[in-house]
Amino acid sequence: MSKRVILFGPLPPPYGGVSVLLSTLWAHVKDAPVFVWAYFGTESHDKRIIRFNHRRLGVIKALLKQGQHARIIDFTHFHLEYPHPILLPIWLLAKQMLRFEWVKHVCDGSLAERYVKFTRAQKRRFARAIANIDEFIVVNEGLRDWLINEAKVSQPITIIPSLLNIPSEGDMNLSYHSEAALQQFLKHKKRVCCIGTFIPAYGFAHVAEAIENLRAETGDDIGLLLLDGTFATDSDYREMVLARRDWITVLTNIPNPEIYKILPLCDLFVRAFGAESYGISRVEAIWGGVPVIAVDIGETRGMITYDFGDVETLTKLIAEVLSGEKQIDTKSWADRYRAEADENLSKFIETLRINGSINRSVRASVGQQSDIPPSVETV
């Protein structure tokens, strides 16, 4: 008898990379006997999705209801990458009692750097977690090598990049709120988009400074659209990025299906994150036919790259792309990434050990829209 397969992690909102990956994977396998345990987000009509507040130990009820002898693919961050002093021991005790298989998905590109700064207590919790994981899924070879060489992992490790083909949105239009918010941005002669959140690691300040430099040097009307994932915010940093820059538009709580409509409206996409593990949004931009400038971390094929924080180089590259001096054949790379995304889905299905029918056709239901309308600011 096959084990119950459970995907455990965040479903949007918010719209960070892990929640986008999980919701896209769910859209592809939802016709199979698969269940989802989700934290964050709104209630779903699908009875196979259990939502709970993990900070209030809601996972205990889910474990007792469905966890026994299950195969749980864990996309969370609080059992390994940020080993929680309460949530991890509860999880390990439940594993001992319920005998479920723990498959840990690891995509945190900052893990190796952060681990060096772990306290002794954090390292002990991390070691306990490692010892109890049955299998690993990682998004790149670097994470695999670090787990083997530094964390001394001996369990099976499967490499599956985060990229999955996006479900077709058909003729879906932007919401009223998004269209209204974009009116001012679309008036700019040149338009640049950046996805992340308002903390220093995502580099919003670097992109804003580069565009400010170009506007001053060339007199060109360049607008910047910041799509804020909202899962982390430094209010002082946010204020610093936006201060006295009325050419910046901020959109938050944007469902992924709308992002696929917004990206083609831009002349350039910049991904300035300094700890990328893969970089789904970079490829989504290429799928939208938009050239990409990105930090030289994670996926970089078909993209123009620079070092994190190098505003001078970033300014130069933005100028060259917007002027047409630098050009990229986005179509060829888009086709290549689509083929790789299909391979990634096949690997996921094999690794999850899913039985039953799998709907491989793309679905309009991915990235379920929240009842909460996107908030917008133009500053």
| Residues forming beta bridges with residue 157, ordered by sequence position | 136
Q: How many domains does the chain have?
A: 2
Evaluate whether residue 231 is within a structural domain: yes
Residues 181 and 325 in one domain: yes
Evaluate whether residue 358 is within a structural domain: no
For 103-145, how does the pLDDT look when each residue is reduced to its tens digit (9 = 90+)? 999 999 889 999 999 999 999 999 999 999 999 999 999 999 9
For 12-50, how does the pLDDT look when each residue is reduced to its tens digit (9 = 90+)? 877 778 988 998 999 899 888 899 999 866 667 788 999
For 344-367, how does the pLDDT look when each residue is reduced to its tens digit (9 = 90+)? 999 999 999 876 444 443 333 333
Residues 201 and 96 in one domain: no
The 3-class secondary structure across 285-331, one letter per residue, is HHHCCCCEEEECCCCCCCCEEECCCCHHHHHHHHHHHHHCCCCCCHH
Residues 91 and 220 in one domain: no
CA atoms of 259 and 57, how far apart (whole Å): 33
Q: Which of 142-146, 171-175, 310-314 has the lowest mean pLDDT?
A: 171-175
Evaluate whether residue 295 is within a structural domain: yes
Residues 148 and 60 in one domain: yes
Q: So what's the pLDDT on residue 361? A: 37
Burial readout 235-264 (b: 16 or more C-beta within 10 A, e: otherwise): eebbeebbeeeebbbbbbbbbbbbbbbbbe
Residues 160 and 14 in one domain: yes
Evaluate whether residue 361 is within a structural domain: no
Q: So what's the pLDDT on residue 177? A: 84
Q: Evaluate if residue 267 carries a pLDDT over 90.
A: yes
Q: How many CB atoms lie within 10 A of CB 101?
A: 17
CATH label of the domain that carries residue 200? 3.40.50.2000
For 94-104, how does the pLDDT look when each residue is reduced to its tens digit (9 = 90+)? 999 999 999 99
Q: So what's the pLDDT on residue 112? A: 92
Structure tokens at 137: 């899924």
Q: So what's the pLDDT on residue 210? A: 98
Residues 198 and 162 in one domain: no
Q: Evaluate if residue 5 carries a pLDDT over 60.
A: yes
pTM: 0.84
The answer to whether 348 touches 241, Cβ cutoff 8 Å, is no
Residues 124 and 198 in one domain: no
Residues 85 and 191 in one domain: no
Q: So what's the pLDDT on residue 247? A: 97
What are the backbone angles phi and psi of residue 148, rounded to the nearest 5°? -75, -50
Q: So what's the pLDDT on residue 366? A: 32
Burial of 105 (0-12, 13-18, 19+ CB in 10 A): buried
Q: So what's the pLDDT on residue 359? A: 43
Evaluate whether residue 373 is within a structural domain: no
> What are the DSSP E strand ranges found in 28-141?
34-39, 49-51, 71-74, 101-106, 135-138
Residues 116 and 236 in one domain: no
Q: Please compute the mean of the pLDDT values over residues 257-265 and round it to a whole number.
A: 90
Evaluate whether residue 372 is within a structural domain: no
For 183-237, how does the pLDDT look when each residue is reduced to its tens digit (9 = 90+)? 999 999 999 999 999 999 999 999 999 999 999 999 999 999 999 988 889 999 9
Evaluate whether residue 363 is within a structural domain: no
Residues 158 and 231 in one domain: no
The answer to whether 159 touches 125, Cβ cutoff 8 Å, is no
DSSP 3-state assignment of 144?
helix
Evaluate whether residue 291 is within a structural domain: yes
Residues 233 and 199 in one domain: yes
CA distances from 360 to 18, 31, 33, 167, 334 (A): 20, 10, 15, 10, 19
Residues 94 and 238 in one domain: no
Domain carrying residue 250: 176-331
